[in-house]
Copies of this chain bind each other. A is one copy, B any other.
Amino acid sequence: MVQIASGSNLVTLINVFTVLPENQQKLVDMLVEATEKTMSQIPGFVSASIHKSADGTRVVNYAQWRRAEDFAAMLRNPKAGEHMKPILQIATNEAHLYEVVESFSVG
């Protein structure tokens, strides 16, 4: 179960991919495979949640890492790079690291 909470000490990666609607499902499949086979095995990985936009033009990976250093090490991992190469042939992306400031929920 993935939880969002402020004050958790995790770092959050929000990676927004822009894609043609006809390639959206293919991109989702590639990100799911990359997460299952590689990302989830890397030290410091906490979670990844793959989202597809209703308008077909975006895919978002909302991922949690233990520390910013773990995320940085993943970026230098050749296996992770192998997954990203074909992904960036069908999509552009914009990734930033975030801290959860506040979280509100009903009930």
Contacts and interface: CB of A to CB of B under 8 A. Distances in A.
Interface of A: 1-6, 11-12, 14, 16, 28, 32, 35-36, 40, 45-55, 57-58, 60, 62, 64, 68, 96-106
Contacts of A3: 1-4
28 contacts: A1-B3, A1-B105, A2-B3, A2-B105, A4-B49, A4-B62, A12-B51, A14-B16, A14-B51, A28-B101, A32-B101, A32-B102, A40-B104, A47-B103, A47-B106, A48-B103, A48-B105, A49-B104, A50-B102, A51-B99, A51-B101, A52-B99, A52-B101, A53-B98, A54-B98, A54-B99, A55-B97, A58-B98
Copies in the complex: 2
Given A4-B4, A4-B49, A28-B102, 11 more contacts: A3-B4, A49-B102, A49-B103, A50-B100, A50-B102, A51-B99, A52-B98, A54-B98, A55-B97, A58-B98, A64-B105
